[in-house]
Structure 1
Amino acid sequence: MNVRPERLDAAIAFAEELAEAARSVTRHYFRTPVAVDSKADESPVTVADRETEARLRELIARQFPDHGVIGEEHGSERPDAEFVWVLDPIDGTKAFITGNPLFGTLIALTRAGRSVLGVIDMPILGERWIGAEGRATELVDTAGRREVRSRTCPTLDAAVLQTTHPEMFAGQDAERFARLSRQVRMTRFGGDCFSYAQLAGGFIDLVVEAGLQPYDFMALLPVIEGSGGRATDWNGQALTLESGGHMLAAGDPALIAATSRYLKSS
């Protein structure tokens, strides 16, 4: 699974180019009167989502024509390639269309279905988290470039739990989340991908979500793991391109087993 260091360096540099390209598009449309359409699942989409992803695909095709791409807005191309880029041009479209700056662009590079590189880019905040296989997660902002670490929190009763919105849980999922929420010190809502950046930076301890697609979580995995945390499904299993939409992220890996007991399906 290891990627040669020089090859990984080149991929990181290119991923940052992609993030800069995405920023130029999303910043152009942010807090402007863009039309909002509804997709088949009734989730919102705008010209900014579509144009951002199209631009990233164009750059990938030019730089790495043999790589695959999986994106939220424009589907899959060569998904069986050795290396596949997984893109979410605007994670948090509801935030974007309501003028909330807590949306981001997610960029992942996978090999054999597992993430080797992930970027969480917050274009309006001017913050970028970069995680890569075997390396410490870095935060790039106006202060420069530095490593970040998640925090120690071995027990649920001391943990801060976050999720984007309670409506992402239905039926038994809602019951399981509520059961977990009663065990932690504090539960917070909102954030989309920014929640995972908060976790990597040591400000919260758990993020639990459901109904996700690979483009929602593949970029998050190297960021979380490179900060010292761990991310799995609700049963404590590794996340890949083939995983379902249930995600559990913990800044302290010691929390995974305790949290999973409240969430797992069997």
Structure 2
Amino acid sequence: MPGTSPAAELQAIIRVAHELADISGPVILKHFRKTMPVENKAIGGAFDPVTKADRGAEKAISQALATRFPDHGIVGEEFGTKSGSSPYQWIIDPIDGTRSFIIGSPLWGTLIGVLQDGVPVFGLMDQPFTGERFWSTDKAAYHSVRGGRPVRLKTRECTRIDDAVLTTTHPEMFEGPEQQSALSTLKEKARLTRYGGDCYGYCLLAAGLIDIIIEPGLKSYDIAALIPIIERAGGVITTWTGGSPASGGNIIATGDARLHEDALTMINKL
């Protein structure tokens, strides 16, 4: 966006991201809780489902982006990478939580993230069935229901793992002794552990309802949109070694920086 201020660029991105969520939601909902074919993308390993809802939503988002920001790059879970000349790159997961989607559970969402020169600068998670939307701005993060008044998100204080609510999508994600030990170390000390949630869990952390999330083997499209939401709400999200989570990998997020520091220490002693 030549000649445009950074603040104006971000406002344009936020506006378009909301438009994209409005476009993709109906595409997805016409298939939700309906009988449809489910393909398995996995070549060996765990079941990795994809549906025409995933592909239809990503196609609709990509087509809309091409008309609004033709020079921006796009990385999508289903259709891969489209290069662009702009420093901005959109990271799209049309349905994060397809396993939940295909059984009728509402614990899924559409993830729309934006990187600027590889750094996450904006994120949005839309759950069109419940009407919930979570998104970031330059200094804050918000939640709304069916287009209602936005409510500012804020993580809660929790300095000790003994007081923490921990979640992860599923314990079977953790493969091998090192990953399994990381989960068990935190799980054994946490006050409460719950499974399930995918992207929805990270948004609940940003809303101050969950304290810590640990997950292995994520892709950039699983996490890029969630990073700004968590950080603008006051949380911390990194890899297990404290590095940038933008490219995915083994991820740990907390609502309180002090808990994050302690959790990293615990899992890196293993």
**TM-score, normalisation: structure 2:** 0.93
Distance 2:218 2:35 in 1: 28
Aligned counterparts of 1:170 and 1:162: Cα–Cα separation in 2: 17
1:40-94 deviation digits (Å, cap 9, x = unpaired): 3440000000010001000111110100000100000116741100000000000
Question: In the alignment, does 2:34 pair up with 1:32?
Answer: yes
Distance of 1:235 and 1:81 partners within structure 2:
31
Deviations 1:102-137 (A, max 9, x none): 1100000101111100001111111000013x3110
Residue 256 (str. 1) matches residue 260 (str. 2): yes
Instruction: Give the root-mean-square deviation of aligned CA atoms.
Output: 1.5
Letter of the aligned partner of 1:174 in structure 2? Answer: Q
In structure 2, runs of 5+ residues without a counterpart are: none
User: 1:182 is matched with which residue: 188, 196, 219?
Assistant: 188
Q: 1:58 aligns with which of 63, 86, 105?
A: 63
CA distance in structure 2 between the aligned counterparts of 1:121 and 1:18, rounded to whole angstroms: 10
Q: Which 4+ runs in 1 deviate beyond 2 A?
A: 262-266
Q: Output the CA distance in 1 between the equivalents of 2:73 and 2:65.
A: 9
What 5-or-longer segments of structure 1 have no aligned partner? none
Q: Distance in 2 between matches of 1:167 and 1:84?
A: 32
1:232 matched residue in structure 2: 238
Counterpart in the other structure of 1:103: 108
CA shift, 1:265, in A, is 7.9
1:43 aligns with 2:45: no
**Residue among 212, 220, 233 paired with 1:214:** 220
State how far apart, in whole Å, the 2-side matches of 1:217 and 1:61 are. 23
Alignment partner for residue 21 of structure 1, among 17, 20, 23?
Answer: 23
Q: Which amino acid aligns with 1:189?
A: Y
For 1:165 and 1:86, the matched residues in 2 are separated by: 23
How many percent of aligned residue pairs carry the same amino acid?
40
The farther-off stretch of 41-50 and 192-201 is: 41-50
How many equivalent pairs are there?
A: 261
Cα deviations by residue, 1:128-160 (Å, 9 ceiling, x for unpaired): 00013x311011114421211010111111111
Give the Cα separation in 2 of the matches to 1:265 and 1:215.
Answer: 29
Matching of residue 154 in structure 1 with residue 175 in structure 2: no
